[in-house]
Amino acid sequence: MQTPDLLIIILFLLAMTIYGIWQGRSNRSTGDYFLGGRNLPWVVAMFSIVATETSVLTFVSIPGIAYRGDWTFLQLAMGYILGRVLVSAVLLPAYFREGVTSIYEIIGTRFGTSMQKLASSVFLITRILADGVRYLATAVVVEAVTGWSLSASVLVIGLVTLTYTLSGGIRTVVWLDSIQFVLYLAGGIITIGYILQNIDIPPGEAMTHLLEAGKLKLINPDMHLLSEPWAFFSAVTGGILLSFASHGVDYMMVQRALGCRNLGAARKAMIGSGIFVFLQFSVFLLAGSLIFIFLGGDPGVEKDREFASFIVNHLPVGLKGILLAGVLSAAMSTLSSSINSLASSTVTDLLGGSASLNQSRLISLGWAAVLITIALGFDESDSAIVILGLQIASFTYGGLLALFLLSKSSRNFSPVSLGTGLVAGMTSVMLLQQAGIAWTWYICFALITTIAIAYSIDLLAELFTHKNRQ
């Protein structure tokens, strides 16, 4: 990096840190620290949801998808919008009606504290594995675009994020998430503008060229639904269920909606986030398509490094610094959200909400240390670990979603039947993976399996008890 780019990044990191420390003065209780006093503007919560689900891997790999292929990835985003409509209609009303701090309190109220702790533990394990190794993969990308060492990338991202998260709590996290979302989205728009100004053909002709080459295809008519994840029905259905689960029963996502003033505001934030994710993906897919034209379709660019390579090798000084700040923004928004949600679930679900504000901060510090240790403990050669971490949510989301849907049933399920169903749901995903079934169906099969096994065991236990009484 040249000096102006480095200065932009340093100023960005300092601004994030100073804002977090300043904002931290407004926290008076754990309610402020974990839910922002339930007074977050819905627009800010919406942008925070989008920023939280957008990691550096999304930032750099979505353009790569368009560079190598087409725009059929947007089929998944179509499903995301519908999935969030389901969250807003089915799950959010209960969260606000019960006034919960952690969504797993719903499970505790319905099925007992043991099931609440089990659901929270599944969430904690999912987040530790998924975000710990995603943090590592993020640091690998930051290393590539900044020239820092892997360890330095991990520590810089981690320490700056920890400082503002520890001090400011969720209010700081969501406001900075919003700023960071605008910054990295601006990075995609800047890329589009720069390329259109620096290619030899008019914008209209460039788009015509992409259209004729099949690079703008949106719909995949493939009918191999179970084996092809990007077949239209498979992708849209997978997107619906993934979004329904991730934004309905993953506390890291739902936490932002719970911080809104009321149910109406939370619904706006939730559904609006799906629309903005669709727009965000469209921007970065367009950027990737235009990079394809700019580089002449060079096949020698490393997979998933197309955008990073363009930033490093082709953007001028100043613009490069802004884009690199966007990369760091995507990294920090995900990590900060993970730290705060892990601490909140620990305090509410495992400790019964008894921790003080300072104790909550110490718990946040502990979870940050865990995530940093995981990232430092592996290296780039641990690709299997990275893949496992990125896919782990597929193993647990279906089972967790099933628990929340079963909580709406009038049947009093035993913890044994629910726990067995949850394990069976996760096991079914492993079997599907071995059978070569597309990952877009994992949550669907896990959801059905968990519900079916829970009902079956509970009915068998009821019949057995009835027979013994006779």
* Number of Cβ within a 10 Å radius of residue 200: 7
Q: Give start and end residues of each alpha helix (H) in 260-347.
A: 263-294, 306-314, 319-345
Task: Specify the length of the chain in residues.
Answer: 470
**And the tokens for 217?**
């295809």
Angle at 253 between CA 252 and CA 255, to 5 degrees: 70
At 290 the pLDDT is 95
- Separation in Å, CA 104 to CA 20, 191, 342, 347, 352: 28, 42, 13, 12, 12
Among 264, 25, 262, 355, CA closest to 164: 25
Helix axes 251-258, 113-146, angle to 10 degrees: 100
141-174 confidence digits (pLDDT tens): 778 777 888 888 889 889 999 988 988 888 899 9
Fill in the amino acid letter for 445. F
Among 151, 108, 171, CA closest to 415: 108
Residue 363, pLDDT above cutoff 60: yes
Q: Predicted confidence band at 379 (pLDDT cuts at 50, 70, 90)?
A: low
* Number of Cβ within a 10 Å radius of residue 261: 14
- Separation in Å, CA 392 to CA 245, 246, 429, 467: 13, 12, 10, 41
11-57 confidence digits (pLDDT tens): 988 998 898 888 777 788 888 889 888 889 999 999 999 988 887 77
Choice among 22-31, 268-277, 383-392, 451-460 with the minimum mean pLDDT: 383-392
Mean pLDDT of the chain: 88
At 384 the pLDDT is 40
At 398 the pLDDT is 93
Residue 390, pLDDT above cutoff 60: no
Quote the CA–CA distance of 422 and 441 in Å, as a whole number: 17
181-205 confidence digits (pLDDT tens): 888 898 899 999 999 999 988 999 9
Chain-centroid distance, C-alpha 57: 11
At 391 the pLDDT is 62
Residue 386, pLDDT above cutoff 50: no
Most confident of 130-139, 220-229, 370-379, 381-390: 220-229
Q: Please report, rounded to a whole number, the percentage of residues in the chain having pLDDT higher than 90.
A: 51
Residue 305, pLDDT above cutoff 80: no
pTM of the model: 0.90
At 382 the pLDDT is 45
243-285 confidence digits (pLDDT tens): 999 999 999 999 999 999 999 999 999 999 999 999 999 999 9
At 378 the pLDDT is 64
